[in-house]
Amino acid sequence: GEDVEQSLFLSVREGDSSVINCTYTDSSSTYLYWYKQEPGAGLQLLTYIFSNMDMKQDQRLTVLLNKKDKHLSLRIADTQTGDSAIYFCAEKESGGYQKVTFGTGTKLQVIP
Amino acid sequence: NAGVTQTPKFQVLKTGQSMTLQCAQDMNHEYMSWYRQDPGMGLRLIHYSVGAGITDQGEVPNGYNVSRSTTEDFPLRLLSAAPSQTSVYFCASSYSRSSGRINEQFFGPGTRLTVL
């Protein structure tokens, strides 16, 4: 079945860039997502990328997709303390229910 | 719109007790799902529904039942609670694939369940 993997923890200094990485296994994925979970809350969609794109930029966020290696990354420029959260990578399979599979989540800690 | 609402926010059960976690959405979404979140394991799909009257099992369905009598509501029942069901439970909803949308999932705030 599908598998989505992420490292569990990342610590960066305020103002630096953060790069959160994700690998997935389903080559037929149609969309790949990044969700953000703040403490005590549910997940919220941060950004997404179509599987036929290599890169997407949205203000401070840059998503890179390497389909050959099945690798997805999220870069946050000028990281702020408000960016401290858990970030989940997710992929949507094609066909049927189009189930979304989530990764384990990466906890980003921003040090002032 | 209230979005996706879940009740209760917190619950403590004793082993063997049963209870229902409530979930409702007011966005007329066809798809609804239940996930559990455990440390280091991400979100695991318990059950899902593609519309009223239709439900199916996800990755970890054992010990849970669901029903979907209306588009808005998707309750999750724990039949006989076990300590292994201690977790944070999230309900989510999304549009159908025929809408042409990106299938963004909208999550409720979660229910934190402890089984003693």
Q: Look up tokens 């609670």; give the residue.
A: B81
pLDDT category of residue A30 using cuts at 50, 70 and 90: confident
CA distance A83 to chain B (A): 19
Mutate to test the interface with A, among B33, B55, B105, B106 (most CBs of A within 10 A): B105
Percentage of chain A surpassing pLDDT 70?
94
Between A79 and B40, whose confidence is greater?
A79
Rounded to 5, what percent of chain A is helix, strand, coil? 5, 55, 40
At B83 the three-state DSSP class reads helix
Nearest to B49 by CA among B102, B94, B107: B94
Judged against a pLDDT cut of 90, whether residue A95 lies above it is answered with: no
| pLDDT mean across residues, chain A | 90
Between B50 and B99, whose confidence is greater?
B50
Which residue in chain B is spatially nearest to A50 when comparing CA positions? B102
- Measured distance CA(B39)–CA(B17) in Å, rounded: 24
Tell me: the pLDDT tens digits for A1-11? 568 899 889 99
- Helix (H) or strand (E) holding B12, with range, is strand B10-13
Tell me: the pLDDT tens digits for A45-73? 999 998 888 999 999 999 999 999 999 99
Judged against a pLDDT cut of 90, whether residue A22 lies above it is answered with: yes
